[in-house]
């Protein structure tokens, strides 16, 4: 599959005025992403902004003892590199692909040119930045107050929204690392969801069989974060 075959689905790009979309379309490099792919290490200088169209990437925090946890996640509703519009130049987290899909890369020189030429680019990016801050705050509350089943269900619902299909690639190990849970805990939750007919899992592939039931298992944080996406 080539970049020409991949539909532009990123909400930031689609929210721009036609002239800005046309300006960026010839400068975007669109390609597939792969599970476990690291886009930027923490502290690495940005060379491109990245706009996912499908899949999920995690902004990960890693501790000195080797443990890690997801700070926030990004899908087609946003873009990687929001620090760039706030004066930053380096990645503030390790960004890792958790659910594969595809994304577009935009060189910083082209981004700066678009920001200078089209006011709508900055406006849309700042609206997304506000929604990402909401996600960060909700995630802090969620990780502190809600059960493993609620958190797993919430994350799976977000992934389901972002891939827009019922079947997608995701391992228990990847989800356990994103949520800071033991793999055995994630496995136990998935087993219960499978027994309830909500989820099917086989060889690293998840199938959402009953979306409504999965929403009932998730915490209220899912709805709050989703509302923030609709900027």
Residues 93, 99, 100, 102, Cα dihedral to 10°: -70
Domains of the chain: 3-118 (2.60.120.10), 143-229 (1.10.10.10)
Q: Provide the pLDDT for residue 31.
A: 96
Say which residue the tokens 């089943």 belong to.
149
Helix then strand count (H, E) for the chain reads: 9, 8
pLDDT tens, 162-195?
998 999 999 999 999 999 999 999 999 999 999 9
- According to DSSP, the β-strands at 38-40 and 29-32 are unpaired
Q: Helix, strand or coil for residue 47? A: coil
User: Percentage of the chain with pLDDT > 70?
Assistant: 97
pLDDT in tens, 66-118: 778 898 999 999 999 988 888 888 998 999 999 999 999 999 999 999 999 99
pLDDT category, 135, cuts 50, 70, 90?
A: confident
CA 167 to chain centre: 17
**Residue range 57-66: mean pLDDT, rounded:** 85
In this prediction, residue 4 has a pLDDT band, given cuts at 50, 70 and 90, of low
Distance from the first to the final alpha carbon of the chain: 31
At 119 the pLDDT is 96
CA dihedral sign, ordered 10, 52, 224, 120? negative
């Amino acid at each position: 599959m080539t970049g020409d075959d991949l539909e532009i689905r990123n909400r930031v790009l689609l929210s721009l005025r036609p002239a800005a979309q046309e300006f960026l379309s010839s400068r975007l490099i669109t390609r597939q992403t792969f599970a476990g792919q690291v886009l930027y290490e923490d502290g690495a200088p940005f060379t491109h902004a990245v706009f996912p169209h499908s899949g999920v990437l995690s902004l990960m925090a890693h501790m000195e003892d080797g443990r890690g946890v997801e700070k926030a996640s990004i899908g087609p509703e946003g873009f990687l590199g929001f620090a760039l519009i706030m004066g930053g130049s380096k990645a503030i987290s390790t960004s890792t692909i958790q659910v594969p899909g595809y994304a577009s890369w935009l060189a910083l020189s082209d981004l700066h040119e678009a920001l200078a030429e089209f006011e709508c680019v900055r406006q849309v990016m700042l609206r997304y930045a506000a929604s990402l801050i909401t996600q960060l705050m909700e995630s802090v509350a969620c990780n502190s107050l809600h059960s493993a089943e609620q958190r797993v269900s919430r994350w799976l619902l977000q992934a389901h929204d972002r891939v827009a299909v019922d079947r997608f690639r995701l391992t228990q190990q990847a989800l356990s690392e994103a949520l800071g849970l033991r793999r055995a805990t994630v496995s136990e939750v998935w087993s219960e969801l499978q027994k309830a007919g909500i989820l099917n899992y086989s060889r690293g592939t998840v199938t959402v069989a009953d979306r409504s039931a999965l929403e009932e298992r998730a915490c209220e944080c899912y709805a709050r974060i989703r509302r923030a996406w609709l900027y």
